[in-house]
Chains A and B, each alone.
Chain A
Amino acid sequence: MPEPKMPEPLHVVGRSVPRSDAASHVSGRTRFAGDYTFPGMLHLKMVRSPVHHAMIRGVDLSGAERVPGFVRALTWRDVPHNVYTILGLIGVEPEEEFVLSQDRVRYKGEPIVAIVAETEAAALEAVSEVRLDLEELPAVFDVEEALQAGAPIVTHWGSNAFMFEGHPSRRVRFGDVEAGFAQADHIVEATYNSSPIEQAPTETTGCVAVPEAGGRFTVYTNTQALYFSLDNTAIILQVPGKQLHFVGGTVGGGFGGKVDVIVEPIATLAAMKTGRPVRYVFSRSEEMQVSSTRSAWRIRVRDGVMRDGRIVARQVTSYADSGAYSRQTPYALTKHAANAAGPYAIPNVSIDAYCVFTNRTPSSAMRGFGVTMASYAVEVQMDRIAERVGVDPWTIRFINAYRNGDIRPHRKPAEDATLIETMQAAAALVGHELTDDQRTLTSGPRASEPAGSPGGEAAPAGSPAAGAAGSAGTPAVVAGSTAEGVR
């Protein structure tokens, strides 16, 4: 039996190591997607809907075609598979978003015709020469109005609610919420609203698609989700994935704003149709108007609370404004529903979370997905409860904090509860005096049964990571995730 080897001092773990891209960032040598230029490169600019909701009666390209430098226009007829759903890769249905609008526009800024020209100035000028014949339709901008009978229907299948396995909401049912309300001493109710929030990366969304020998295309892109973008592009263009080579990982700010596969399919199609490299980079106003935002939310919370501060029932009805298409919002709704009860042990919970289509800019991912707004609503609600019951905001949270092994409303045991320890640390930092009970409490299981089986959150979509052995005992990590800023 060999001698057990003494552990060598660690070189990376537990130490601060410089970022590998540091020197290149501060010297301007890092190449971002928009930094790539190629001989003969063309520029793509988009003709967009000037209104929120309209039927397209006609598109007149003749003025654009006369602009010097105009190369060609692309319409929906040029797109091999024009209707797609980004989350189709993980089984979300139906296919619903149009790469280029066919007969109807559903939000202001929706792309209708792509113009490819020799220079960006020529592309912009040609865009300004395209004449649209639109018949404007009534539009809806409020989630609850959109669900009422008689509201303008945004989708092409007749419902403004995204269907989760046959239901118009993502539902969580746990215990008996009505029995909880009946038993409660207090009912605390409130509604929480938020506006859409633009991720506002400093680098706008964009890519350059380059035809290579042998029918391949190299796409330099600032997507946060390289393989997700590649796969969706392959589906939209109906080409095998091996025909596409996506180069990325360098993202000038993402925060969830660059996961929606918006520029790569159409830029690659333009490169296919022209045989030349094509650059498609959003202007700042496109980034603000068209790129998806964090959803606007309306969250109604109704809690049943005992005189001693214990929450015995929580009913949450949430509406996320998905805008005209679903993008990543159904996924955000699922995360929202799983977390809308907060990090608290509540025996009776009922949650209905609606993903609602309106004529606003499609919303999608932003840091924390649907959990951020759930936390906002739940934590303000906790303060309201504390006020009603007459205890301080710390106490109400210590009373209700979940512990490892508690079964959460979605039927999974809590595994890594740290609310109590976090509050204890926070109290020490701000000099808040805790009671003896609060000081000695832990998130350990309430009884002797073991906590739930270990698990972990899956890697975010589009960020496949694989460990690979490096040479000479040096570990190598290969990751599809991107360095995109964290705030």
Chain B
Amino acid sequence: MTVADYFLPRSLPEALELLREHGPSLLVMAGGTVTMPLINEGISLPRQVMGLRFAGLDGLEPVDGGLRIGATVTLTGLLRQRHVPMLAQAARRTASWSIRNMGTVGGNLFTPPPGGDVAVALLALDAQVEVRSRDASRTLPLSEFQTGFMTTALEPGELVTGIGVPAVAGETAYLKFGRKEANTPSVVTVAVRVRREEDRVVDARVALGAVGPHALRASRAEAILVGSSLDPGAIDEAAEAAAAECDPFDDGVASAWYRRAMVRLFVRRALEGLAQPVAVEGR
């Protein structure tokens, strides 16, 4: 059926009430950059849709050295903030100017691979997802929020209201590799964060995008890095582990084989960039 109702709530309580009232059949849309193409092509034929553009979820403020990002902050908004440079970098490498003016950070958590580049950076930063329903609220780590290809831990009646990013501990690197420079789906996206004490890595995050059903942490690679001095041997071993533990797929952008090879290469480049403090640029 063509869309019968399009709700544009003016506040969070109004949005949560609509969600409670209409249940899981209510399609929730933020920037529309993923949903609208499906509707335009007749692939998705929802009856009822709720748009969040005016729901007041677009605040972005620094909190305790970190950042609290409203669910409908646009990618342009994320690009312009200066508190967490890796997030600005991730936003900049996502889609194009016009799309960034529409697409939202919250929406990016629901964007299926090979999209969802910002979520990869958020994963490396230990981001927490704020979830509200009419009667309750909870917070869960992003690593537990994304559960499968286009599935999340969201319960009926729940809405993502924001994302909390703790103060960044350590150094970060973000590399996105696509078939062209801009506005391109990812072959692989790599976000790493490494905290060192006296030359030894004490904490590591290696997050990968476009090589699994959702943004993934390469936990074996992380374990290899902890305790190392980010020496070439450890970097090679971590890159190898990340390539082995990711779960890539074939699509029109790249083959699974190629994606795995590029995980090896770009994890290594990201880590080398941190080991030797010279600027690295991913394509």
Contact (Cβ within 8 A) B41 A121: no
Contact (Cβ within 8 A) B41 A122: no
Q: Please report which residues of chain B, range 5-46, place their CB below 8 angstroms from some CB of chain A when the two chains form the complex.
A: 40-42, 45
B252's closest neighbor in chain A, by CB? A288
A124 beta carbon closer than 8 Å to chain B: yes
Contact (Cβ within 8 A) B2 A122: yes
A285 beta carbon closer than 8 Å to chain B: yes
In the complex the two chains form, what is the Cα distance from A45 to B42 in whole Å? 11
In the complex the two chains form, what is the Cα distance from A284 to B40 in whole Å? 10
Q: Looking at the complex, which one of B1, B2, B40, B42 makes contact with A127 (CB distance below 8 Å)?
A: B42
Q: Which residues of B contact A231 (CB under 8 A)?
A: none
Q: Which residues of B contact A183 (CB under 8 A)?
A: none
In the complex the two chains form, what is the Cα distance from A127 to B41 in whole Å? 12
Q: Looking at the complex, which one of A119, A128, A285 makes contact with B45 (CB distance below 8 Å)?
A: A128
Q: How far is the CB of A288 from chain B (nearest CB, A)?
A: 10
Q: How far is the CB of A205 from chain B (nearest CB, A)?
A: 16
Contact (Cβ within 8 A) A125 B41: no
Q: How many A-B residue pairs have CB under 8 A?
A: 19
Contact (Cβ within 8 A) B2 A128: no
Contact mask for chain A residues 85-127; partner B; CB cutoff 8 A; 1 contact, 0 none: 0000000000000000000000000000000000101101101
In the complex the two chains form, what is the Cα distance from A154 to B45 in whole Å? 35
Q: Which residues of A contact B1 (CB under 8 A)?
A: 125
B2's closest neighbor in chain A, by CB? A121
A126's closest neighbor in chain B, by CB? B42
The secondary-structure label for the interface of chain A is helix
Q: Which residues of B contact A285 (CB under 8 A)?
A: 41
In the complex the two chains form, what is the Cα distance from A285 to B38 in whole Å? 11
Q: How far is the CB of B206 from chain A (nearest CB, A)?
A: 35
Q: Which residues of A contact B40 (CB under 8 A)?
A: 283
Q: Which residues of A contact B2 (CB under 8 A)?
A: 119, 121-122, 125
Q: Which of B1, B2, B45 has the most CB of A within 10 A?
A: B2
A120's closest neighbor in chain B, by CB? B42
Q: Which of A121, A283, A284 has the most CB of B within 10 A?
A: A121
Q: Which of A119, A124, A128 has the most CB of B within 10 A?
A: A124
Q: Which residues of B contact A122 (CB under 8 A)?
A: 2
Contact mask for chain B residues 173-215; partner A; CB cutoff 8 A; 1 contact, 0 none: 0000000000000000000000000000000000000000000
A67's closest neighbor in chain B, by CB? B1
Q: Which residues of B contact A45 (CB under 8 A)?
A: 42
Q: Which residues of B contact A127 (CB under 8 A)?
A: 42
In the complex the two chains form, what is the Cα distance from A127 to B1 in whole Å? 11
Q: How far is the CB of A253 from chain B (nearest CB, A)?
A: 19
Q: Which residues of A contact B41 (CB under 8 A)?
A: 124, 283-285
Q: How far is the CB of B45 from chain A (nearest CB, A)?
A: 6
Q: Which residues of B contact A124 (CB under 8 A)?
A: 41-42, 45
Q: Which residues of B contact A121 (CB under 8 A)?
A: 2, 42
In the complex the two chains form, what is the Cα distance from A128 to B2 in whole Å? 12
Q: Which residues of A contact B45 (CB under 8 A)?
A: 124-125, 128
Q: Which residues of A contact B42 (CB under 8 A)?
A: 45, 121, 124-125, 127-128
Q: Which residues of B contact A284 (CB under 8 A)?
A: 41
In the complex the two chains form, what is the Cα distance from A284 to B2 in whole Å? 20
Q: How far is the CB of A63 from chain B (nearest CB, A)?
A: 12
In the complex the two chains form, what is the Cα distance from A121 to B46 in whole Å? 12
Q: How far is the CB of A456 from chain B (nearest CB, A)?
A: 40
Q: Please report which residues of chain A, range 124-149, place their CB below 8 angstroms from some CB of chain B when the two chains form the complex.
A: 124-125, 127-128
Q: Please report which residues of chain B, range 223-264, place their CB below 8 angstroms from some CB of chain A when the two chains form the complex.
A: none
A69's closest neighbor in chain B, by CB? B2
A119's closest neighbor in chain B, by CB? B2
In the complex the two chains form, what is the Cα distance from A287 to B2 in whole Å? 23
Contact mask for chain B residues 30-68; partner A; CB cutoff 8 A; 1 contact, 0 none: 000000000011100100000000000000000000000
Contact mask for chain A residues 270-286; partner B; CB cutoff 8 A; 1 contact, 0 none: 00000000000001110
Q: How far is the CB of A65 from chain B (nearest CB, A)?
A: 15
In the complex the two chains form, what is the Cα distance from A284 to B42 in whole Å? 12
Q: How far is the CB of B33 from chain A (nearest CB, A)?
A: 15
In the complex the two chains form, what is the Cα distance from A278 to B40 in whole Å? 19
In the complex the two chains form, what is the Cα distance from A377 to B243 in whole Å? 37
B39's closest neighbor in chain A, by CB? A121
In the complex the two chains form, what is the Cα distance from A331 to B41 in whole Å? 34
A286's closest neighbor in chain B, by CB? B41
Q: Please report which residues of chain A, range 156-194, place their CB below 8 angstroms from some CB of chain B when the two chains form the complex.
A: none
Q: How far is the CB of A125 from chain B (nearest CB, A)?
A: 6
Q: How far is the CB of B10 from chain A (nearest CB, A)?
A: 27
In the complex the two chains form, what is the Cα distance from A190 to B2 in whole Å? 55
In the complex the two chains form, what is the Cα distance from A454 to B2 in whole Å? 63
Q: Which residues of B contact A283 (CB under 8 A)?
A: 40-41
Q: Which residues of B contact A128 (CB under 8 A)?
A: 42, 45
Per CB-CB distance, the 6 closest pairs between chain A and chain B, nearest first, are A124-B42, A121-B2, A283-B41, A285-B41, A125-B2, A125-B45
Q: What are 19 pairs between A and B in contact, CB < 8 Å?
A: A45-B42, A119-B2, A121-B2, A121-B42, A122-B2, A124-B41, A124-B42, A124-B45, A125-B1, A125-B2, A125-B42, A125-B45, A127-B42, A128-B42, A128-B45, A283-B40, A283-B41, A284-B41, A285-B41
Binding site for A on B (CB under 8 A): 1-2, 40-42, 45
| Other contacts beyond A124-B41, A128-B42, A283-B41: 8, CB < 8 A | A119-B2, A121-B42, A124-B45, A125-B2, A125-B45, A127-B42, A283-B40, A285-B41
